[in-house]
Chains A and B, each alone.
Chain A
Amino acid sequence: EDKVVQSPLSLVVHEGDTVTLNCSYEVTNFRSLLWYKQEKKAPTFLFMLTSSGIEKKSGRLSSILDKKELFSILNITATQTGDSAIYLCAVVGGSGGYQKVTFGTGTKLQVIP
């Protein structure tokens, strides 16, 4: 059974801090790893990672994948209160035309002023 584990489950930091969120996985026929940010409603896409060692970056957020050790990290530097959200990691597996997506439970990040 495919499995995605995120840590920590929740985190409280002060504005300006740097945080690292972790995602480890076990999946059959790995295709890609996705990071999402979920505030009040639907998750919004952050990154898709398919290759090891290549950092994806968007502003203060960055992410990297290690396919050998089966994990990914999401870094947020100089955190702001607007970064408060649940961050979801999802792994896409499967073969042929069918892709199965398994989500982790998420990391709840709270940034306090």
Chain B
Amino acid sequence: SQTIHQWPATLVQPVGSPLSLECTVEGTSNPNLYWYRQAAGRGLQLLFYSVGIGQISSEVPQNLSASRPQDRQFILSSKKLLLSDSGFYLCAWRSDRGYGYTFGSGTRLTVV
């Protein structure tokens, strides 16, 4: 069965520090992978999506970047965090079985 792992679960980082959030998928190959952010009281905002290794598309301009070094690995990064980067970050992959999107457990990032 397919599973998606995301870590860390919580993170407190100072302004200006770097960020690296990792997401891995098991049980499927060549998945479409997504990074979403959920700010407090808001819906999910698509940040990046990837259809394959090295293929990244950005939906919203910001100081974040994403990389896909391996088929089942998706990484969200920043060189210098801003206060506005605080939020709940979710990795997701799209199922072809008609069940929509499957989400990781999320990372709650607080930038202080």
Q: Are A45 and B43 in touch, CB under 8 angstroms?
A: no
**Complex Cα gap A45–B103 (Å):** 9
Which size class do A's interface residues fall under? 20 to 34
Q: Are B101 and A101 in touch, CB under 8 angstroms?
A: yes
How many A-B residue pairs lie within 8 Å, measured between CB atoms? 48
Which residue on chain B has the smallest CB distance to residue A35? B100
Q: Contacts A88-B44, A97-B51, A98-B51 hold; do A45 and B98 have CB atoms under 8 A apart? A: no
Chain B residues positioned under 8 Å from A41 (CB to CB) = 105-106
Chain A residues positioned under 8 Å from B100 (CB to CB) = 32, 34, 36, 45, 48, 90, 92
The 4 closest A-B pairs by CB, nearest first: A42-B103, A103-B44, A103-B43, A105-B43
Q: Identify the A interface with B (CB < 8 A).
A: 4, 6, 32, 34, 36, 41-45, 48, 88, 90, 92, 97-106
